Amino acid sequence: MRAVVQRVTSGAVSIDGQEVARIGRGLVVLIGVTQTDTESDASYIASKVVGLRIFEDSNGKLNLSVQEVGGAVLAISQFTLYGDARKGRRPSFTQAAAAEQAVSLYQHTVDLLKQHGISVATGVFQADMLVEINNDGPVTLLLDSERLF
């Protein structure tokens, strides 16, 4: 499982011109699922997202987590995180999980985030979404449950 984590001042999702989710200060997390992922991969990603110390403390140091600052998470499914563009110009998405597996693990990740007391908003799985990300910093991190990066 992969995630792109961005610290934001706000984030929102719209579908067909209608806003379906919005957060203020917190994290926008783009989540991709591959064929070999399990609930333990979801647990790893959720735990990392909750614990990342990427918010500034009173001394201006990145020492606080989203949980500690009372921030929210906007979780968006994004199968393209498993796109492979090493050959040619058209990415291959063969490593991305099938929709049934992906939605289950994506939802499990969201549920785990909520269990930590984090306010979580979501996009709509498989929808064509317009995602508004107001990256703060900018601070962007890549997570991979196989610890590839």
What is the Cα–Cα distance from 68 to 51, expressed in whole angstroms? 9
Instruction: Verify whether residue 79 is a known catalytic residue.
Output: yes
Name the residue among 44, 29, 113, 35 with its Cα closest to residue 78. 29
Name the residue among 36, 39, 29 with its Cα closest to residue 8. 29
Catalytic residue among 34, 55, 79, 122: 79
**Other CB atoms within 10 A of residue 92 CB:** 13
- Considering only CA atoms, give the Rg of the chain: 15
SS3 133: strand
Catalytic residue among 6, 34, 78, 122: 78
Catalytic residue among 35, 36, 38, 80: 80
Enzyme catalytic residues: 78-80
